[in-house]
Structure 1
Amino acid sequence: MSLERLFETVGQHFLNVMYFDGGRYVIAAGVLTVFLLVFRTWAANRRIQRGKNAGMKDYRREILSSGRTVLVFGVTTMATLIGREIGVINFALDDAPLLTIAWQFALIVVVHDAYFYWIHRAMHSKRLFRATHLHHHKSRTPTPWTAYSFSSWEAMVEAAYMPIFLLITSLLGITYAGFALFLFLWHMIIRNVMAHAGSELFPAGWVDNPLTDWISTTTHHDLHHSDRHNYGFYFTWWDRWMGTEHPRYKEEFRKNAKPVVMFGGQRQPTAERA
C-alpha cells in the first residue's frame, strides 16, 4: 500500500469513524439517562448508593473526558482499518453465516472480559493507578456518562484490545466477520453504560439463578467504584476465580433489586432497608 493511498484512506474514513464511536456513546448513555428520568420512581427505589447523586461538576467532567476517549478510540479504529489495508489484520465486510457471526461474537466478548479484568487489576496497582485509572474513579457515584470517562492512558489501553485481538486472530488464520465486530462494539458500550447506571437494572433473583448469576449486574460494578472489589466487566468468573468479588455482592444486589412500582406511589420499606 502506497503512502498516498494510506493518507487517502485516513482522510476518507476518519470522520465517519469518529461519528460512529461518538454516536455509540451518546446514544447508549443518552437513552439510559432518559429511561432513568422517565421511570424516576423505579430508578430511585433501585438506587445503589442511597442518598448520593452525581452533581453537574461530575457530569461535566465525565462528558468532557469522554470526548477525549472517543478521539482515542477513533484513532485506534483507524489504525485497525489501516492494518486491514496493508494486510496484517483480517476481517470481511461481506455477509457471513449466522453461526459464524454468533461464535465469533461470543469469542471476542469472552476474551475481552479476560483482557479487561487483568488490565483493570493492573491499573489499580500503586505504580499505575494515578496515571491511568484515577480519573475514572473520580466518579464515586457513577452515571451512564461515566462509561467513557477515562484518562488518555486508560483510553489507549482500553482501545488497544480490538487491534490486538484482530492481529492475533489474523496470525491464526481467522478472518472475522464485520458484523460480529459491529455487534461487539454495540454490546460493549451498552453493557458499559448499564454498569454505571447508578440504579440496579437487572431483575430480582438474577444472582440466585445459576443460569444468570455469572453475568455481571449494575450493583457488581457500582461496588467497585465505592469499595474497590469486582474488577470484571461482563461476567463474574474472573472475580470468583481470583477471590476479588465483593463479599457482600449478592446481599447488596438483593437489597437493590426488589420489585417496585414504576409510576407514582410510595415504596414500602423492605426488611433489609427498614
Structure 2
Amino acid sequence: MIDPATGETLVYIAERVSQHFANVLYFDLGRYLIAAGGMTILLFVFGSWAKARRIQRDRTAKRSDYIREVASSFRTILVFAVVTLATLVGREFGVIKLSLQEAPLITVAWHFALIVVAHDAWFYWIHRAMHSKALFRATHLHHHKSRTPTPWTAYSFTTIEAVLEVAFVPLFLLVTSQLGIAYAGFAIFLYLWHQIIRNVMAHAGSELFPAGWVDNPLTDWIATTTHHDLHHSSGYNYGFYFTWWDRWMGTEHPRYKEEFRANAKPLISFGTRAAHASERA
C-alpha cells in the first residue's frame, strides 16, 4: 500500500518507525547501563572510600535485590523508549517544537536549567501522590522494595510509575511548544544524562557529596545521596535534585543534616592522612 500524502509504502514507514524505536531503546538502555554500571565500578574500585561513607551501615542489598532491580529497570527502559518515540512522532506532526539544529550556548543553558527545575517540581508532586494510600501499592511499592538502594535501583519502577516518570518530557515540551518555544535538542540531551546520573548518585548507598555540603548556603539546596537514602527508610524527602520543595512543604527529614554529617567525609581526606604520615616519617 502507498501513503497518498508521502508516496511511501506502509512497509517502509513501519521500518522507519522500528528503526527509530530501536535507536531510542538503545539510547535509554545505554544511559542506564553506563550510569549504573559506572557507579558500581567506582564504588568497588574505591571500596574503602565508599565504605567509610556508607549510609546504611547495618544493612546491605542482597543478590535478589539486584536481580529485581535490573529486571524491572529493563521494563522501565522499554516504557521510556515507547514514550520517547511518541515524542519524536509528535515533533514530526508539528505538535511538539523540538529543534535539532545547533543553538547558541546561552539558549542551551537556560533551556537546560528550565527543564531541570520543572522536572524537580514534577517529581516532587507525583512522588508525594504515589505515596498516598490510594496509589502507593499500585505505583511505588515496588521501588521501595529496595530498602537499601543500589545504583541499579534508579529505574526499578512498576509500569505505571515508569509512565508517570517519563510523561514529564512530552508534557513539558507540549507546554513550551504552546508558548512558542522550539526547545533545543541538545538541552534535552544534557537533561537526560543529568537525570540518570543524579538518579544513580541518589541511590549509590554511600554519601558522594563532601563534608560541609549541607552547611554551606551555596550548596545546601542541592540534594545529596543521604537526602534520598533517608527517603527509602522513612516517610520524608520527596525531592529529587533540590531540597526546595521538601523545605517549603515541611517534608524534609528532621535529622537530614545530622545524618549527612555522620556519613559525609572530606573528599581529600586520604591526602590529609598521607601528608600526616609523611610528616611523622
TM-score bin (small chain): over 0.9
- Asked whether the equivalents of residues 6 and 82 of structure 1 are also in contact (C-alpha less than 8 Å), the reply is no
Moved over 4 A (4+): 260-263
Q: What residue number does 1:33 align with?
A: 40
Q: What residue number does 1:219 align with?
A: 226
Q: What residue number does 1:160 align with?
A: 167
Q: Of residues 101, 110, 119 in structure 1, which corresponds to 2:117?
A: 110
Q: Of residues 10, 20, 28 in structure 2, which corresponds to 1:21?
A: 28
Q: Offset at 1:258?
A: 2.4
Q: What residue number does 1:257 align with?
A: 264
Query: Is the counterpart of residue 72 in structure 1 residue 79 in structure 2?
Result: yes
Query: Is the counterpart of residue 181 in structure 1 residue 195 in structure 2?
Result: no
Cα distance in 1 between the residues matched to 2:265 and 2:19: 50
Query: Is the counterpart of residue 150 in structure 1 residue 157 in structure 2?
Result: yes
- Structure 1 window deviating more from structure 2 (254-263 vs 92-101): it is 254-263
Which is bigger in relative contact order (C-alpha 8 A, separation at least 6)?
1
Cα distance in 2 between the residues matched to 1:197 and 1:12: 34
Q: Deviations over 1:156-200 (max 9, x none)?
A: 000100000001111110001110000000000000000000000
Cα distance in 1 between the residues matched to 2:27 and 2:112: 19
Query: Is the counterpart of residue 192 in structure 1 residue 199 in structure 2?
Result: yes
Q: Offset at 1:51?
A: 1.9
Q: What residue number does 1:140 align with?
A: 147
Q: Give the RMSD, CA atoms, in angstroms.
A: 1.6
Cα distance change on mapping 1:181 and 1:142 into 2, 3 Å: same
Q: Deviations over 1:194-229 (max 9, x none)?
A: 000000000010000000000000000000000120
Cα distance in 2 between the residues matched to 1:159 and 1:111: 13
Amino acid at match of 2:250: G
Q: What residue number does 1:7 align with?
A: 14
Q: Offset at 1:126?
A: 0.2
Query: Is the counterpart of residue 51 in structure 1 residue 58 in structure 2?
Result: yes
Q: What residue number does 1:271 align with?
A: none
Larger Rg: 2
Amino acid at match of 2:125: W
Structure 1 length-normalised TM: 0.93
Paired residues in the alignment total 264
Q: Deviations over 1:82-139 (max 9, x none)?
A: 0001110011111000000000000000000000000000000000000000000000
- Asked whether the equivalents of residues 39 and 262 of structure 1 are also in contact (C-alpha less than 8 Å), the reply is no
Other structure's SS at 1:227 match: coil
Amino acid at match of 1:7: A
Q: Offset at 1:9?
A: 3.8
Cα distance change on mapping 1:176 and 1:137 into 2, 3 Å: same
Unmatched runs of 5 consecutive residues or more in structure 1: 266-274
